[in-house]
Amino acid sequence: MNQAALHRLMTSKRWKKSENSPEDLFQLRLSTNLSLISSLFFSLYPKEKNELFFYQLLNRMEELFSNRSKELKSLDLERLQDGNWYQSERLVGMQLYVDRFNKNIKGLYEKLPYFDELGVNFLHLMPITTRPSGENDGGYAVNSYYEIDSKYGTKKEFSAFTKQARKENMVLMLDFVVNHTSDEFEWAKKAKGGDEKYQNYYYTYPDRQIPDAFEKTMPEIFPESAPGSFTYNKEMGKWVMTCFNTYQWDLNYTNPEVFIEMLANLVRLANMGVDVIRFDALAFLWKKIGTDSQNLPEAHHLISLFRMCLQVIAPGVILLAEAIVAPRNIIKYFGEGPLKGNECEVAYNASLMALLWNSIATKKTSLLHKSLLEIPSKPVDGSWINYIRCHDDIGLGYDDDFIRAIGWSPSEHRSFLLDYYSRGLEWSPAKGLMFMYNPKNGDGRITGSAASLLGLEEALEQKDIRKIDQAISKILMLHGIILSYGGIPLIYAGDEFGTLNDYSFTKDSDHKNDSRWVNRPMQDWKTIEKLPTTENHTSQIFKGLKKMIQLRKKLSVFADKQPAIIHPSPNEHVFLFERTDGKSKVWVISNFDEAPQFLEVGWLFSIGISFGREPKDLITKKELLLDEGRLKLNPYQHMWVALD
Ligand code: GLC
């Protein structure tokens, strides 16, 4: 049973019961979730030894609820009454680094009109809390979960920002770096000082015996810059687990105290006025010798336990799963079996993202179709974050069986994609970099901005107008897909006007070992100022995107109530899906080829596009015309088709 549905029921205006106070409702939510909370807790922490911790947890939850502000408590209830608000077609998101966007929180506040102009009303702010001063993985090495780093501003400024943002109906998402802290976090400092209690908050070992056993089956995340999964800490005289960078210490969730303390940190973050919490790197939360220590059943229990407790304390706050894992594993973060609907409400659609990049390189949509049709669908109450680029690399997370099924070799195919995007393949227009190439197995990932990966950088260098136009079409086509697919589209700041790669990271000693910084540019306000008056690639992209955003918000078929219906087209270059709200329909058609492509009118009729009913492209407002009984699609053309 989806617990959120029960909480919604309890706040429904249709239930004519006497008014409950927020405290009564807290108690009601607690009783509703208690059986799940206890079974999840004791599945991770056996009852014989941990009963006391369970009572500690319950007391902590009451305390955390009482610390939540009145204003947020009433917002929680409003959100519950709104139902699945996160599935609305009216949401359009942007992800940004506050300092790179406009210096600091104050600067961000000043730019609220910019979001409004573009139609963005959902913001993912990258970490803004304190972090080590040198390398810090873009803030994903946290010194605190709620103290704002002075380079961004003060708590007061942040609170002024959230208040104003809320007034303007802006939804706010922040990260909860749940898997690890920095090596400067207060617990890490105490551990280094010899405090055993805090050494047990992490996976620490006096010798290599257990680390060696773990490393036999644990894949390396950053093989170039941080090989292995353990780091020796001299001060402590012990090895500590560090799956990511050497300065990011993995939290030991086999210790129930860690869970209780981290729940408190999660609520403190939510109390900053956050609507969506991005559960960072959540696939890694539970480690077990002999496994790859990713996506383990215990990790799912732990996430659901966080979810069930947070739902009692702050029921308006939802969770986003940052699980950049194999397609079949991503789906599991919505919750499976008894946990269905009780894990994360939203997940990154990393599969769609990676498949779109595959279709750009191959100019074919066969792998895209096969994967989308065969991956089990998400639950109806869940939703996606759809994106083409973010601050991270593009991992080639395809299902090998699907690659084989269409007749390609998985390793050769991945190697081709690395050549196409980051090894300068001769005919490829893409300009990207390699990320974390592992010569031991040939694995690698791709970095680069959307525009550079889609050929705009090369086209501008060559001053080739045809290529520039093609790159613009590709940029708009991919954004058109994420705006219409179903879920919250998340635009990466800078992509809205085709920002190119930023190579300056190679000169920065804290960034030069991490090529993801090539796609973390400073927001270029000079160019933005000129957008209304210039006619070039930047303004074409911005205007094209803005138009689609405005249109998306008017089309109820784009709310994520019913999933996209994929129609595998007989033309292997064309991607076609249908969206419906039960009443009207829109067909989204994209040509992934650099040559014109055609669709037979008979086939279009078979999927409902009847030319007798004057089909129209809603983006250009033009009627669809036939060319000798076929619909012609120009290179990289993208349409939202509706019937009269
Ligand atoms: C997530 C973040 C990434 C970071 C990693 C470790 O994957 O998106 O940027 O390096 O977690 O925190």
Instruction: From the candidates 175, 280, 457, 514, give the one annotated as an active-site residue.
Output: 280
What atom of ligand 1 comes closest to residue 180's alpha carbon? 12
- pLDDT for 16 equals 63
What atom of ligand 1 comes closest to residue 177's alpha carbon? 12
pLDDT tops 90 at residue 542: yes
How far are the Cα atoms of 197, 200, 230, 288 from residue 211, in angstroms, in the given order? 20, 15, 7, 11
Ligand 1 pocket test target in 100, 125, 140 with most atoms within 8 Å of CB: 140
Percent of the chain exceeding pLDDT 70 equals 99
Percent of the chain exceeding pLDDT 90 equals 93
pLDDT tops 90 at residue 14: no
Distance 321 CA to ligand 1 centre (A): 12
496 Cβ inside 6 Å of ligand 1: no
243 Cβ inside 6 Å of ligand 1: no
- pLDDT for 223 equals 92
- Give catalytic status of residue 183 as yes or no: no
pLDDT tops 90 at residue 256: yes
- pLDDT for 333 equals 98
pLDDT band at 2 (very low <50, low <70, confident <90, very high): confident
Lowest mean pLDDT among 3-7, 121-125, 612-616: 3-7
pLDDT tops 70 at residue 494: yes
pLDDT tops 90 at residue 6: no
Nearest CA-CA partner of 395 in 464, 330, 313, 300: 330
Q: Who has greater pLDDT, 1 or 609?
A: 609
pLDDT in tens, 177-186: 999 999 999 9
Residue with CA closest to ligand 1 atom 3: 392
Distance 140 CA to ligand 1 centre (A): 6
Instruction: From the candidates 137, 322, 495, 593, give the one annotated as an active-site residue.
Output: 322
- pLDDT for 65 equals 97
250 Cβ inside 6 Å of ligand 1: no
392 Cβ inside 6 Å of ligand 1: yes
Task: Give yes or no for a contact between 421 and 354, defined as CB atoms under 8 angstroms apart.
Answer: no
pLDDT tops 70 at residue 17: no
For every residue of 537-568, which 3-state class applies, written as one string? HHHHHHHHHHHHHHHHHHCHHHCCCCCCEECC
Distance 138 CA to ligand 1 centre (A): 9
> What is the four-CA torsion angle of 606, 608, 611, 613, rounded to 10 degrees?
150
325 Cβ inside 6 Å of ligand 1: no
pLDDT in tens, 557-604: 999 999 999 999 999 999 999 999 999 999 999 999 999 999 999 999
435 Cβ inside 6 Å of ligand 1: no
- pLDDT for 644 equals 84
pLDDT in tens, 286-296: 999 999 999 99
User: Which tokens belong to 41?
Assistant: 């807790």
Task: Give yes or no for a contact between 25 and 3, defined as CB atoms under 8 angstroms apart.
Answer: no
Task: Give yes or no for a contact between 101 and 108, defined as CB atoms under 8 angstroms apart.
Answer: yes
- Mean pLDDT over all residues of the chain? 96
pLDDT tops 80 at residue 370: yes
What atom of ligand 1 comes closest to residue 391's alpha carbon? 9
- pLDDT for 19 equals 75
Mode of pairing for the β-strands spanning 346-348 and 383-386: parallel
Half-sphere exposure of residue 231, counting CA atoms within 13 Å on the CB side? Answer: 20
pLDDT in tens, 385-428: 999 999 999 999 999 999 999 999 999 999 999 999 999 999 99
How far are the Cα atoms of 141, 182, 239, 248, 450 from residue 235, in angstroms, in the given order? 19, 15, 11, 16, 43
What atom of ligand 1 comes closest to residue 392's alpha carbon? 9
Residue with CA closest to ligand 1 atom 9: 392
Q: Which residues contact 70 (CB under 8 A, 6 or more apart)?
A: 22
137 Cβ inside 6 Å of ligand 1: yes
pLDDT in tens, 48-97: 999 999 999 999 999 999 999 999 999 999 999 888 999 999 999 999 99
Distance 279 CA to ligand 1 centre (A): 10
320 Cβ inside 6 Å of ligand 1: no
What atom of ligand 1 comes closest to residue 516's alpha carbon? 9
Q: Which residues contact 225 (CB under 8 A, 6 or more apart)?
A: 245, 436, 513, 514
Distance 484 CA to ligand 1 centre (A): 27
pLDDT in tens, 211-250: 999 999 999 999 999 999 999 999 999 999 999 999 999 9
Distance 292 CA to ligand 1 centre (A): 18
Helix (H) or strand (E) run with residue 610 in it: none
135 Cβ inside 6 Å of ligand 1: no
- pLDDT for 11 equals 79
Residue with CA closest to ligand 1 atom 11: 281
- pLDDT for 214 equals 98
- pLDDT for 76 equals 94
pLDDT band at 4 (very low <50, low <70, confident <90, very high): confident
177 Cβ inside 6 Å of ligand 1: yes
pLDDT in tens, 297-340: 999 999 999 999 999 999 999 999 999 999 999 999 999 998 99
Ligand 1 pocket test target in 280, 348, 516, 520 with most atoms within 8 Å of CB: 280
3-state helix, strand, coil in the chain (%, to 5): 45, 15, 40
- Rounded CA separation 74/25 (Å): 11
Residue with CA closest to ligand 1 atom 10: 137
What atom of ligand 1 comes closest to residue 324's alpha carbon? 7
Ligand 1 pocket test target in 137, 183, 278, 513 with most atoms within 8 Å of CB: 137
What atom of ligand 1 comes closest to residue 140's alpha carbon? 12
State in Å, rounded, how far the first CA of the chain is from the last one: 41
User: Which tokens belong to 612?
Assistant: 């007798």
183 Cβ inside 6 Å of ligand 1: no
- Rounded CA separation 71/124 (Å): 22
Distance 637 CA to ligand 1 centre (A): 34
User: Which tokens belong to 229?
Assistant: 């999964």
- pLDDT for 9 equals 81
pLDDT band at 501 (very low <50, low <70, confident <90, very high): very high
pLDDT band at 20 (very low <50, low <70, confident <90, very high): confident
- Give catalytic status of residue 502 as yes or no: no
